[in-house]
Chain A
Amino acid sequence: MSVVAHLPRRAQSLTEEEAESPPAMELTGRHRMSEDERTVAATIFDEFHADPRYREFVLGCLNCGECTTGCPAARFYDFSPREMLQIAATGDATTLWDALQEKIWACCQCYTCNMRCRFGNDIAGIISVMRELSVIHGLESTRRTLAPFGRSLTLLMTVGTQVSSDMIQPDFFRDWGPFATGSDQVWQVTPEVMRKAIPLDVLQTTRSSWEVSVQTSLELFRIYEETGVLDMLRGLDPDLTEMLVDIVEERREEFAEARERFSSELAGQRGPVATFTG
């Protein structure tokens, strides 16, 4: 038997009355929601409650605040996991919409709240569900929040690692100080030579965390295509997504050419290397 069923639940979406009368918070000077925003908020609310993870992650709340006591984000932001859980458990479409605008992005995903919650709520997890919905629906606030991630998303989608040493540029990471980047300025060699001095051949690149084989990166891209991640990204940043598709198309051609070039070595191979064509 699930406990969630016993939590007082608001309507699954906005009632006519709610839709027509602005919620109290708006009277205190909050941004007034447009009709379109109300519709999206109602859809998100329904999808949130229909997500199978909802019943697993939100088990009830005593309002004890144990989660917030250990929360790093609560120390520096106007944010609390207790509030997030309360919004998930009993909030309405408007409250959820409000949380999606900014608060959900304060969370560090450290899972301290989960460890401390006597109810066994997965608070970090339910915040991730909220974030996913804000990405899927391409909320303007989410676009702004994730705008600095174009480079790391490109790496992640095309080769499957998220950092490269050429991303750690001294200019961008000034607050890390002069010794933080294995810097060529300190050692007076190029970044490429610094990477050559790592005794692992697959790490001797500046463009990715390690060299990822083309087959592996194409398999990853296939996962993104098949599991809806590419569509998710399209909703958020269509231009970036088209660029990624182009990059991967080129890699597919490169892979097909390599299959010809290495045909004799590949002839004896079985398993994934033989069946996967990109």
Chain B
Amino acid sequence: MLSASEIRKVVEERTLHQKGTGKKVVDVREEMERLEDRGEILVHHIRPENRPVATTTLFGWTKQIPTDRLWHHKSCGQCGNIPGYPSSLLWLMNETGRTYLNEPHQTSCTAWNYHGTATSNPVALAAVAARNFHRAYETDHFPLIHCGTSYGDYKEMRKLLVENAAVREKVRAVLRKMGRDLVLPEEIVHYSEWVHVMAPEILARQQHPVRGIIATVHEPCHYYKMVPEDAIYDDRVYAGQRPAVPSGILLELGATVADYSTWYDCCGFGFRHILSEREFSRSFANLRKIRPMVEEAHADVAITSDTGCVTTLDKSQWIGKAHGAAYMLPVLSDVQFVALALGAHPYKVAQVHWHAASAEGLMTKMGIDWNRAKGEFQEYLRALKDGARPELLHPAHGEIEQFFAINKGQVLPDEARASTLNPTPPRSEGRGAD
């Protein structure tokens, strides 16, 4: 235990340390520019073709959110077990005419594993991030990150790569072995930020009113507690005192966003816990999150914007019946809720059947004829069973792409590097590309 005078000294030194190094308030993007000028890194810039929209971060800095020509950085948890999450997002991009790539040439960020089992290290995590960044760069599509943990991890890794020359060199050496280079994106962008800035276009397409729907928001920890300075805030959302996403879009759509006492708590996912210590995850989710949402806020739906949070809050509820707590509050991602409000098919697109707590009551309140949609989906499943071709949101990939991360004619933004690639015009996979 420190003595009082030692504590005073530590506080004093800490203040000096903060002032002297500016450690906690430095804008990593400025240092990125310096490194780019010195030729130490490449920066994947947001360009006019990305149709950026300006937002404000926690510290009042401006953050550009690209809205077009996007490279979908998928989430392993979403795709593996709540697939209506990514399909709603890509559906929304088609509806709003945005172009994108949804490739098999990406890995996950691998940070779920790191936070769960620690069988990795910062150099490996940074190399994984940089490999994915480079792939997005060589396709000339800006990375849009689906998972809150990937977003948090990539913010950390970008900072690490900017601030630590030794890690930078190690990662560069690894990338060179696969013909890649060190590229960092100008902004680390979470899909919910895209949804937030797309509000005007989303509202113009709203089909189902949500006035009268009470939504409670769970703010994903890794969105705003990891590298907090990159999260976006908006004066119209809780007077800028809480992150703008995902509450902002719910308010825009006309829902009531209700507060509850444990909003700041995590969901109970725990990375390791959700797989091997679920008694913790489900107790925490039920007692600290779902119960206050229902009993204090009388929620119709819980909305969040991360993989682990949707999973934990949704799938932990059923077992609550064993203790007489059968809340079964529907839990959706913001983008699934948006897709439903815009008339997306609840089963074919929003894929609500993968969720444990039924969304049918919510859909009834929204005026969605889910019974008919369910019948259509059952028909569709029968057809698939009999060998019908699946309906897709974008053209299917060719066989060669099961093996090779080929260049499909994209041109690098950097002219100096363009000569190393096939210089035919870019073509996106998204339907909006035409």
Provide the residues of chain A in CB contact with B20, threshold 8 Å: 1
Is A209's CB under 8 angstroms from B420's CB? no
Q: Does A210 contact B (CB under 8 A)?
A: yes
Contact of A199 among B131, B221, B378, B392 (CB under 8 A): B392
Most chain B Cβ neighbours within 10 Å, of A134, A198, A214: A198
Tell me how far the C-beta of B409 lies from the nearest C-beta in chain A, rounded to whole angstroms: 10
Closest residue to B271 on the A side, CB-wise?
Answer: A109
In the assembly, what is the distance between CA of A261 and CA of B349, in Å? 36
A274 — nearest CB in chain B belongs to which residue? Answer: B179
Checking A53, A161, A173, A273 against B80 with a beta-carbon cut-off of 8 angstroms, the contacting residue is A161
Number of A-B contacts (CB under 8 A): 355
Which of A15-23, A30-38, A40-48, A70-78 binds B? Answer: A70-78
CA A181 – CA B315 in complex, angstroms?
9
B256 at the interface (CB under 8 A from A): no
Kindly list chain B residues whose C-beta atoms are within 8 Å of the C-beta of A211.
104, 402
Contact call B106/A168, Cβ cutoff below 8 A: no
Interface 1/0 per residue, B100-139 and A, CB below 8 Å: 0011111110101111111111111001100100110010
Interface-side segment among B37-45, B187-195, B222-230: B222-230
Which of the listed residues A6, A109, A200 has the most CB atoms from chain B within 10 Å of its own CB?
Answer: A109
Please tell me if B196 contacts chain A, counting CB pairs below 8 Å: no
Q: Does B6 contact A (CB under 8 A)?
A: yes
A232 touching B405 in the complex, CB below 8 Å, given contacts A3-B17, A200-B87: no
CB pair B80–A115 under 8 Å, yes or no, is no
Within 8 Å of chain B (Cβ to Cβ): is A59? yes
Residue among A105, A135, A215 making CB contact with B119, cutoff 8 Å: A135
Which residue of the partner chain, among B117, B266, B353, B405, contacts A213 with CB atoms under 8 Å? Answer: B405
Nearest CB in chain B to that of A212: its residue: B104
> A59-B14, A213-B105, A214-B403 are contacts. A148–B422 as well, Cβ < 8 Å?
no
Are B402's CB and A179's CB within 8 A? no
CA distance A167 to B127 in the complex (A): 27
What residue in chain A is nearest B398 (Cβ atoms)? A265
- The answer on a CB contact under 8 Å between A265 and B6 is no
Q: Contacts of B225 on A, CB cut-off 8 Å?
A: 110-112, 114-115
Is A189 part of the binding interface, using a Cβ–Cβ cutoff of 8 Å? yes
Judge whether B264 is part of the interface by a CB distance below 8 angstroms. Answer: yes
Decide yes or no: A210 and B79 within 8 Å by CB, A1-B20, A201-B396 being known contacts. Answer: yes
Cross-chain contact of A109 among B75, B108, B115 (Cβ < 8 A): B115
Q: Is the CB of B390 within 8 A of A196?
A: yes
Do the beta carbons of B179 and A272 come within 8 Å of each other?
yes
B1 at the interface (CB under 8 A from A): yes
Determine the distance from Cα of A17 to Cα of B241 in the docked complex, in whole angstroms: 54
A148, B130: Cα distance in complex, Å:
29
Known A-B contacts A149-B276, A223-B131, A226-B177; A209 and B77 likewise in contact (beta carbons under 8 Å): yes
Question: Could you pull out 17 A-B pairs where Cβ atoms are within 8 angstroms?
Answer: A61-B10, A62-B11, A76-B280, A162-B108, A180-B318, A180-B355, A186-B353, A187-B381, A199-B349, A200-B87, A201-B397, A204-B390, A209-B78, A216-B104, A229-B120, A229-B121, A262-B400
Q: Contact residues of B with A, CB < 8 Å? A: 1-2, 6-7, 9-11, 13-14, 16-18, 20, 23-24, 74-81, 83, 86-87, 90-91, 102-108, 110, 112-124, 127-128, 131, 134-135, 138, 152, 170, 173-174, 177-180, 221-222, 224-226, 228, 264-266, 268-273, 275-276, 278, 280, 282-284, 288, 314-316, 318-319, 347-349, 351, 353-356, 358, 377-378, 380-382, 384-385, 390-394, 396-397, 400-407, 420-422
